[in-house]
Amino acid sequence: MYVVINGAGKVGFQLAEILAASRATVAVIEKRLTVCEELTEQIDDILVIHGDGADVRYLEDAGIARADVFAAVTGDDDDNLVACQLAKVSFDVPRTVARINNPKNEHIFHELGIEGISSTTVIAQLIQEEATVGDILTLRTIRQGEFAVVEMLIPVGAACVRRTISELNLPEKSSIVTIIRGDEAIVPKGDTEMQEGDLVICLTAVAQEAELQTALTGRS
C-alpha cells in the first residue's frame, strides 16, 4: 500500500511512524525544512518532500498518481480540504482522508466524499485495515474470542444519527460503552443522542457484530 501524507506536525509524524512500522510505503510532504530533516533522521525508508501538499508540483514529486491513500493531516482544515480535493479530482486517488480540526467543518468534508476524522489512531487504523468510516474495527477480543471490544466512527447519514440510545435496536448481546465526541468522552445513557462523527466504543458478541453495524449505520 502506498500512502502520501500531507503535513508532518504531531499527527502527521505519528501517522508516518505507525504506517511505516506496518510496512506501508509512505511519502510525507511538509512545508518546514527542519521538520523534514527530523523525519528523515527518525523514520527509516520513507520519502520526505519539502513543500506544500496543496500544490500540484509537490504532489507529483511524492508520486501521488500511484497512491492508494492520500491523508491530509495539517492543523488547517482549509489546507486539508484543498489538498484532498486535488488528490481526488486531479490525480484520481482512490481514497482521501483528512484530519478535521474544527468539528463544524465535518459536514463539508463528508459532502465532498472525503473521510474527515479527528483521531490519529483511528486514521491509522482505517488506512491499515483498509476500512471505511462506518466499518467496525475490533480493538480486542475477550472470553476466548466470544466477545469483542469494537469501535466505529459514525458516518454522515447513519441510521443512529439524532436518535437516542434507547431508540436504537441494538443486538441483545451488544452495548455502547463510550462515545468519543471531539475531546469529550461520554458515558452514554438511554437519552444520549448519537451524532455524526461520534467514535463509538462497544462491547458485543462477535457473532452479532454485523447486526450491531446495521443497527448503528443502517447498512450491513
What pLDDT was estimated at residue 121? 64
> Quick one: how far is CA 150 from the chain centroid?
15
Please write the tens of the pLDDT for every residue from 82-99.
Answer: 999 999 999 999 999 998
What pLDDT was estimated at residue 89? 93
What pLDDT was estimated at residue 119? 66
Round to whole Å and give the CA distance between 157 and 160.
Answer: 8
Within the chain, where are the H helices? 10-21, 33-42, 56-61, 77-85, 106-111, 120-128, 209-217
Contacts of 178 (CB under 8 A, 6+ apart): 185, 186, 187, 188, 200, 201
| Grid cell digits, residue 122 | 483511528
Domain boundaries, the chain: 2-128, 137-217
Please write the tens of the pLDDT for every residue from 14-61.
Answer: 899 989 988 899 999 999 999 999 999 999 999 999 999 999 999 999
CB 158 within 8 A of CB 149: no
Fold of 2-128: Rossmann fold (3.40.50)
Round to whole Å and give the CA distance between 48 and 31.
Answer: 11
Contacts of 191 (CB under 8 A, 6+ apart): 164, 165, 166
Report the amino acid identity of residue 119: S
- The CATH homologous superfamily to which domain 137-217 belongs is Regulator of K+ conductance, C-terminal domain (3.30.70.1450)
Round to whole Å and give the CA distance between 16 and 114.
Answer: 20
List the pLDDT tens digit at each of the 220 positions of the chain. 999 999 999 889 989 998 998 889 999 999 999 999 999 999 999 999 999 999 999 999 999 999 999 999 999 999 999 999 999 999 999 999 998 888 778 788 888 888 887 666 677 777 877 777 678 887 777 877 889 888 888 888 899 999 999 999 999 999 999 998 877 889 999 999 999 888 899 999 999 999 999 999 987 6
